[in-house]
Amino acid sequence: MNYNIDRMLLRVAIVLGIALFVFQCLLQMQGLRSLITSVDQLEGVPYVREQNRVRDFVK
């Protein structure tokens, strides 16, 4: 009985981890980002992905 509960909790944890990964990937796409969350509309400065972030950091 205890073994079955452990397996179920492990499966739930794996599914939640995969869901978290997928939604984080979807939030990186600007078109889907506006459909998933409304937080960007409430912020004063819109989120813009920087293309040369590493190069700017090194300077």
Q: Give the global pTM.
A: 0.60
- Count of structural domains within the chain: 1
Please give the pLDDT value at position 52. 55
Task: Tell me if 47 is assigned to some domain.
Answer: no
Q: Is residue 54 part of a domain?
A: no
Q: Is residue 28 part of a domain?
A: yes
How far apart are alpha carbons 11 and 3 in whole angstroms? 12
- Domain boundaries, position 34: 1-40
The answer to whether position 31 is within a domain reads yes
Q: How far apart are CA 14 and CA 7, in angstroms?
A: 11
pLDDT grade, residue 17 (50/70/90)?
A: very high
The residues near 27 (Cβ < 8 Å, ≥ 6 apart) are: 33, 36, 37
Query: Residues with Cβ < 8 Å from 31, sequence gap 6 or more?
Result: none
Task: Report if residue 18 sits inside a domain.
Answer: yes
Q: Is residue 22 part of a domain?
A: yes
Residue 59: inside a domain? no
18-57 per-position pLDDT tens digit: 999 999 998 888 788 878 887 777 776 666 666 655 555 5
